[in-house]
Amino acid sequence: MPDYTFDTPEPVDLRIRSQSGTVTVTATDTGTSTVEVTAIDDDARDLAEEAVVQMDGSGRRLTVEVPERRSWIVRRRRLDIQVTVPSGSALSVRTASAKTTATGRFSTAEAHTASGEILLDEVEGDVDAHCASGHITVNSGRTISAHTASGKIRIGHASGDVDVHCASGTVRIGVAEASVRAKTASGDITVDEASAGTVALSAASGDLRVGVRSGVVARLDLRSLSGRIRSELPLEDNAPDGGARLEIQAKATSGNVVVVPAPARTGA
């Protein structure tokens, strides 16, 4: 099956378009970019041969495109696409039903799929991850937008604002350095450590839980129609001087709402 190698002493703008199968991208310390396209199913061998892999004239944009085939006959036509690029490259992946895994350090990342899992490692800039049905995991990023209709969303660390929506599935955000807006119809939402901005959480059926970083002053607006509301933070009549400002707006229809001190991080 086709293999490609390009000299890329600088980070590249990688763009991948495929239908189904797997997409694996590794960003590492390298001066070359490589692309391997392999058929997973026998009926996909012609697609692997027809994949278009090219570097533009500037030597900065690398494109991998698989032609879309429509047929009345249902066939499994999955491809395995494996790409290695220099650390700090930008990533854009669009698939119909493929699992996307990106490991290493990227400048920005965009991943869209109809039904497939998305796993993104370390992103220095903004992240945009959307899927209709599937799980989304982002280990770290700046401003993060993650939407799925049915699936879990897991964000490890966000240095910028977070915008998360899912119809059915749990949401968990590790460390949020800025504002968070998270909404789900059915599922729990947890923010392990919030520190600044506005944390606005909403769930029709599910529990809401927010941990507040030590030393942060928080203003609470907590509501639940048929669940319990609990805050383990010390209460003051007047806002104390100093300390970061945080506003928590948590609203549940049928679920508990809990605000607690965030656990101390090792090495924090």
Q: DSSP characters for 87-116?
A: TTEEEEEEESEEEEEEEEEEEEEEEEEEE-
User: Are 180 and 209 contacting, i.e. CB atoms less than 8 angstroms apart?
Assistant: no
Predicted local confidence at residue 72, as pLDDT = 43
Can you count the helices (H) and strands (E) in the chain?
Answer: 1, 24
- 95 or 70, higher pLDDT: 95
User: Are 40 and 118 contacting, i.e. CB atoms less than 8 angstroms apart?
Assistant: no
Q: How long a stretch of residues is the chain?
A: 268
**Which residue shows structure tokens 């901005």?**
197
The helix/strand/coil state of 49 is: helix
Read off the DSSP letter of residue 45: H
Tens digits of per-residue pLDDT, 98-122? Answer: 899 999 999 999 999 988 899 999 9
Predicted local confidence at residue 41, as pLDDT = 82
Least confident segment among 41-50, 151-160, 161-170: 41-50
